[in-house]
């Protein structure tokens, strides 16, 4: 596996592969990799001749008071995992490389509507940061295919919308959420949790499963959301939001919508956990 941090070197390697007719798949990450990230690489390998991963802890998507400085940097361990799964190239730029003029005067990308609610309102500016860095990475890597986890479902829809709106020739593939044995969605932030807290957080997955069944039984949207919030709160987590959205528009679901996604964000101590479950009522 090549590891490159320089933009010129990256572009030269991409150009060489393109001239050879290689199809390129891309997996952007912020590092501190777990099995969920590795599953993205494994999926990417099914769709392309070359797989590029990136590790960049993007300051633009962290809000005030969030854990940018504390976010784990585990490059050596991450590299070993990527080598083991057959990644061709790892791109590891610095913040100075990606934002040479600083964040204050950086051109940015915003994706309206789909970014507005849920994590968008809970973390102002977050999706601007996501869309901007993904757009820039797409320009550098020029992938044919890019893989993103469904755990961050709103983020996935933001990227899909951006790619469609800007006519990017990139296929976006959503990859199912990797989970712990109790259903807890695997996340880099799970490293902040004790074993006891991880067991406690399993209630999120359990509540989503029960909620999906209730929706299929035509229990009202409001009642389903209330039930989820009660279950999670009883286990000592603090609710950030519990919502049900129409899956494609990412707007609040209304009676009669068929393609739904249940979205949960909750705090366990200082750690913010998110999860979702898609429901098809058609």
Contacts of 107 (CB under 8 A, 6+ apart): 132
- Answer whether residue 64 shows pLDDT above 80: no
Asked if residue 222 and residue 156 are part of one domain, the reply reads no
Last residue of a domain, one of 128, 150, 175: 175
Task: Report the chain's terminal Cα–Cα distance, integer Å.
Answer: 45
Element (H, E) at 51: strand 50-55
Predicted confidence band of residue 63 (pLDDT cuts 50, 70, 90): confident
Rg of the Cα trace of the chain? 19
Distance CA 282, CA 276 (A): 19
Q: Average pLDDT of 193-222? A: 97
The pLDDT of residue 40 is above 80? yes
In a domain, residue 182? The reply is no
Instruction: Give the CATH number, domain containing residue 265.
Output: 3.30.1300.10
Domain end among 147, 175, 203: 175
Q: Is residue 281 part of a domain?
A: no
Q: Which domain holds residue 249?
A: 188-276
Do 62 and 161 reside in the same domain of the chain?
A: yes
Q: How confident is the model at residue 65 (pLDDT cuts 50, 70, 90)?
A: confident
37 is known as an active-site residue: yes
Is residue 86 assigned to a domain?
A: yes
Report whether pLDDT(66) > 90.
no
161 and 262 co-located in one domain = no
Model pLDDT for residues 136-172, shown as the tens digit of each residue = 999 999 999 999 999 999 999 999 999 999 999 999 9
* 32 and 78 share one domain: yes
Which pLDDT value is given to residue 77?
97
Give the per-residue SS3 of 199-241: HHHCHHHHHHHHHHHHHHCCCCHHHHHHHHHHHHHHCCCEEEE
More confident residue, 44 or 72: 44
pLDDT at 243 > cutoff 90: yes
Which tokens in the block code for residue 22? 């290689």
Query: Of the listed 34, 37, 47, 181, which one is catalytic?
Result: 37
Q: What is the pLDDT of residues 110-128, one digit of tens each?
A: 999 999 999 999 999 999 9
pLDDT value, residue 71:
86
CA angle 249, 255, 259 (to 5 degrees): 40
Q: How many CA atoms lie within 13 A of 52 on its CB side?
A: 25
């Amino acid at each position: 596996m090549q590891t490159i941090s320089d933009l010129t070197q990256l572009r030269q390697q991409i150009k060489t592969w393109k001239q050879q007719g290689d199809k390129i798949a891309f997996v952007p990450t912020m590092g501190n990799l777990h099995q969920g990230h590795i599953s993205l690489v494994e999926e990417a390998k099914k769709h392309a001749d070359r797989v590029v991963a990136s590790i960049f802890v993007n300051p633009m998507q962290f809000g005030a008071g969030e854990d940018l400085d504390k976010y784990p940097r585990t490059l050596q361990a991450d590299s070993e995992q990527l080598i083991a799964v057959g990644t061709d190239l790892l791109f590891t730029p610095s913040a100075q490389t990606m934002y040479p003029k600083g964040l204050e005067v950086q051109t940015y990308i915003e994706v309206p509507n789909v970014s507005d609610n849920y994590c968008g309102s809970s973390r102002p500016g977050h999706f601007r940061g996501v869309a901007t860095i993904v757009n820039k990475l797409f320009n550098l890597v020029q992938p044919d295919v890019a893989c993103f986890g469904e755990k961050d479902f709103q983020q996935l829809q933001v990227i899909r919308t951006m790619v469609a709106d800007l006519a990017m020739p990139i296929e976006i593939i959503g990859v199912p959420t990797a989970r712990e044995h109790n259903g807890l969605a695997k996340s880099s932030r799970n490293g902040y949790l004790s074993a006891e807290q991880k067991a406690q957080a399993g209630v999120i997955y359990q509540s989503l499963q029960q909620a999906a069944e209730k929706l299929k039984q035509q229990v009202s949207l409001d009642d389903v959301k209330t039930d989820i919030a009660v279950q999670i709160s009883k286990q000592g987590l603090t609710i950030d939001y519990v919502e049900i959205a129409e899956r494609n528009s990412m707007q609040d679901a209304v009676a009669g919508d068929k393609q739904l996604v249940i979205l949960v964000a909750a705090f366990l101590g200082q750690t913010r956990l998110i999860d979702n479950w898609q429901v098809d009522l058609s």
